[in-house]
């Protein structure tokens, strides 16, 4: 306790000396990853994650939406019963049932992070009155910065879309993709969802093009007839990351990896994928990993002397947790951790922590992941079985929960978060709300 207090005082003292002044802001989201998904990956790898150090602010974050409607209710009122409540969340008799009800979806969560406004589930940047909300991408653009979104799932999916687009429903993929390509002004879009490739990264006979805005939009993209330098091969992604890709005189970049909905998570496995150990099934070839895409985005965005806002999503942690696939979840979380480490190295070579703000969090928990006996013993802890061994754990749900998620932040203005953390959870400690991430970024980057 004394140590925690001292380190908080130290952070405040450092903050008093350093102006917020974040030139660049990078928000990294492990989709559907609660405290136990982060912990499971750490146990498996036995490596201390790069965000686990005294220089980092470590908090929890609440994620509940405004209401449980799937369309605007025209009220704008917070449904009180779904607000995170530690007493209910940790109840040994009713906690699981309470956590399983009233959860956010990724669209409402991304909207809250990007606009500071809670809304109904399904909303891509729209209020409960069905009106477009101003997001961080728009604010960053107005300040002269560049912006980008990067993900391991289709680039028009809920989280990247919620950062930059506006639509009444996340399911209108083609509309959202077309907004992102033709009207959003986003500078970098990188992700999966290629119309001609499947979950194994193999060529299909019949395309499915909604994720890229339909076949006509795809034809324009692939023909280099949009404002974007379009890319899709692994070689091109690697060249982009190394700064050697010919941008054909363009300043904006859009990349669709040659794979279906996820870079790796959806590839078939031998036997029951739920219990397959991490990396037991050969990885898809011909697709980049999240770290390579992150480096590519940074190469492009760093050209703007006024700075940038970049969102990087480990999108398929959520897909693995929905499917209760322990090994795939660890793979995706480790891929996310590699991307965080890559971003940290970039920051340390590009202005350091006084010029950059990095936030690492999740949009919600998925799967109610707890220890091996958690079905009968609520909140049974994970069991660390050593390096390279699957931790003892069990899923207790196949969808999203209201559990608090971890939040790590470091760099220019990050200390402001301590002021937002007014509530305390008996298990997770002080916590902020997902809307506070928006407030933090606006403050730190003076948007």
Residues that bind Zn ion (CB under 5 A): 31-32, 106, 318, 363
d(CA 377, CA 264): 33
Q: Which CB atom, from 31 or from 198, has the smaller least distance to Zn ion? A: 31
Q: Which CB atom, from 146 or from 156, has the smaller least distance to Zn ion? A: 156
Element (H or E) spanning 423, and its range?
strand 423-425
Q: Which CB atom, from 315 or from 411, has the smaller least distance to Zn ion? A: 315
202 exposure class (CB count in 10 Å sphere: 0-12, 13-18, 19+)? middle
80 exposure class (CB count in 10 Å sphere: 0-12, 13-18, 19+)? exposed
- Nearest distance from C-beta of residue 115 to Zn ion, angstroms: 16
- Nearest distance from C-beta of residue 121 to Zn ion, angstroms: 11
- Nearest distance from C-beta of residue 107 to Zn ion, angstroms: 8
- Nearest distance from C-beta of residue 104 to Zn ion, angstroms: 8
Q: Which CB atom, from 28 or from 414, has the smaller least distance to Zn ion? A: 28
Q: Which CB atom, from 356 or from 366, has the smaller least distance to Zn ion? A: 366
What distance lies between CA 418 and its chain's CA centroid?
Answer: 22
- Nearest distance from C-beta of residue 313 to Zn ion, angstroms: 9
Q: What is the DSSP letter of 6?
A: H
- Nearest distance from C-beta of residue 335 to Zn ion, angstroms: 16
Residue nearest to Zn ion (CB): 106
d(CA 356, CA 441): 11
- Nearest distance from C-beta of residue 205 to Zn ion, angstroms: 31
d(CA 125, CA 103): 18
- DSSP notation for 157-180: SHHHHHHH--BS-TT-HHHHHHII
3-state secondary structure of 293: helix
Q: Which CB atom, from 145 or from 157, has the smaller least distance to Zn ion? A: 157
Q: Which CB atom, from 284 or from 361, has the smaller least distance to Zn ion? A: 361
Helix axes 290-301, 326-349, angle to 10 degrees: 30
């Amino acid at each position: 306790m004394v140590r925690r207090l001292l380190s908080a005082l130290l952070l405040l003292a450092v903050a008093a000396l350093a102006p917020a002044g974040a030139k660049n802001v990078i928000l990294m989201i492990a989709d559907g990853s609660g405290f136990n998904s982060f912990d499971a990956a750490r146990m498996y790898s036995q490596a201390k994650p790069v965000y686990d150090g005294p220089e980092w602010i470590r908090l929890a974050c609440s994620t509940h939406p405004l209401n449980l409607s799937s369309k605007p209710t025209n009220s704008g009122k917070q449904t009180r019963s779904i607000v995170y409540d530690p007493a209910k969340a940790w109840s040994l008799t009713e906690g699981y049932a309470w956590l399983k009800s009233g959860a956010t979806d990724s669209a409402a969560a991304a909207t809250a992070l990007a606009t500071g406004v809670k809304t109904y589930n399904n909303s891509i940047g729209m209020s409960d009155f069905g009106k477009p909300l101003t997001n961080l991408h728009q604010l960053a653009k107005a300040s002269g910065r560049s912006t980008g979104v990067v993900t391991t799932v289709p680039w028009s999916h809920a989280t990247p879309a919620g950062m930059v687009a506006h639509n009444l429903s996340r399911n209108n993929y083609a509309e959202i993709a077309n907004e992102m390509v033709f009207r959003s002004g986003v500078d970098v879009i990188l992700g999966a969802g290629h119309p001609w490739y499947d979950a194994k990264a193999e060529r299909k006979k019949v395309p499915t093009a909604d994720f890229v805005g339909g076949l006509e939009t795809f034809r324009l993209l692939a023909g280099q007839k949009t404002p974007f330098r379009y890319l899709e091969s692994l070689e091109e992604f690697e060249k982009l990351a190394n700064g050697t890709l010919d941008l054909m005189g363009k300043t904006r970049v859009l990349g669709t990896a040659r794979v279906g909905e996820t870079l790796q998570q959806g590839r078939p496995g031998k036997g029951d994928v739920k219990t397959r150990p991490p990396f037991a099934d050969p990885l898809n070839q011909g697709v980049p990993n999240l770290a390579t895409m992150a480096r590519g985005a940074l190469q492009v965005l760093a050209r703007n002397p006024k700075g940038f806002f970049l969102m990087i999503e480990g999108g398929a942690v959520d897909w693995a947790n929905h499917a209760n696939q322990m090994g795939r979840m660890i793979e995706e979380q480790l891929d996310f951790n590699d991307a965080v480490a890559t971003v940290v190295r970039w920051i340390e070579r590009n202005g350091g922590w006084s010029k950059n703000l990095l936030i690492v969090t999740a949009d919600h928990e998925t799967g109610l992941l707890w220890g091996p006996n958690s079905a009968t013993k609520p909140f049974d802890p994970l069991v660390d079985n050593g390096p390279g061994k699957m931790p003892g754990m069990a899923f207790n749900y196949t969808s999203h929960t209201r559990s608090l998620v971890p939040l790590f932040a470091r760099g220019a203005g990050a200390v402001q978060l301590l002021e937002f953390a007014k509530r305390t959870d008996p298990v997770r400690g002080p916590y902020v709300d997902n809307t506070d991430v928006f407030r933090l970024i606006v403050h730190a980057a003076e948007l």
